Structure 1
Amino acid sequence: MNSVKELNKWANTHTYLPIDLLRIALGVFLFMKGISFITNIQYLADLISPIDKIGGGMFLIHYIAPAHMVGGIMIVFGLLTRWAIIAQLPILISAIIINFMGEMHSQNLLLALFTLAICVFFLFYGSGKHSADYYFKMQK
């Protein structure tokens, strides 16, 4: 727990507006991806078809889109950013694995790798100074 507090202190003293804009862009991207999956549910079903044989395909369809939408909104506002990103990690790791199990789509693979890298960065960095987390912490 102390290491999280130390990371938050470091992030709050070394925060910059471009990093906050990157966090907001990540949240908007995830939200739009969730909207895309809801509006084209067959595309999502086709994406997860290589791992559907394992089971839980319907659970995945009902987890991925809402997790992207709710997590994206939380990341945009900087509200419980680390928890929202933890919910995104299994989806992004699965997206990378699916590219190797099924048909390889290099654009989807690069997008998933890039998004995963940004999520891991914000997992350690936190939400920064321009966020709801910082605002609520200062209200105490």
Structure 2
Amino acid sequence: MARRAVLVSMAADSTIADVAQTLDNPVEYVRRILEKLERCRRAHGDAQVRIGVRGRVECPNYLIEYALLDPKTKQTSVHPDAAYSGSTHRELAPRHIEEARNWSPEEMNITAVSALIGRLRNPRD
């Protein structure tokens, strides 16, 4: 029998932790995001992720970003690294990054995502 999608909406300010229970395969989804975050951190020294809030809640797309501190102004600015498909974990075209309303304004840093995967792998029931 074909699997039917259950329509579940997510809040516009959702994080991965907020939608973890609705993901098709939470541990694998978060593990793949953690891989992308580690790659970004190695390249830029920082990494964070925001999820897409206008797509499928069972495998939302995600945007990997990094923050840079301007030494002159002491201002931190956030820059996109890449956007990825939540179902295939393949990089999306750069045009997907530009549509700000697609992305949650709330991010999770690499430490928070690492803690989340730990909780998913070892739930305390």
Q: What TM-score comes out, normalization by structure 2 length?
A: 0.28
User: Which structure would you say has the larger RCO, counting Cα contacts within 8 Å and 6 or more residues apart?
Assistant: 1
Larger radius of gyration: 1
More strand by share: 2
Q: What TM-score comes out, normalization by structure 1 length?
A: 0.26
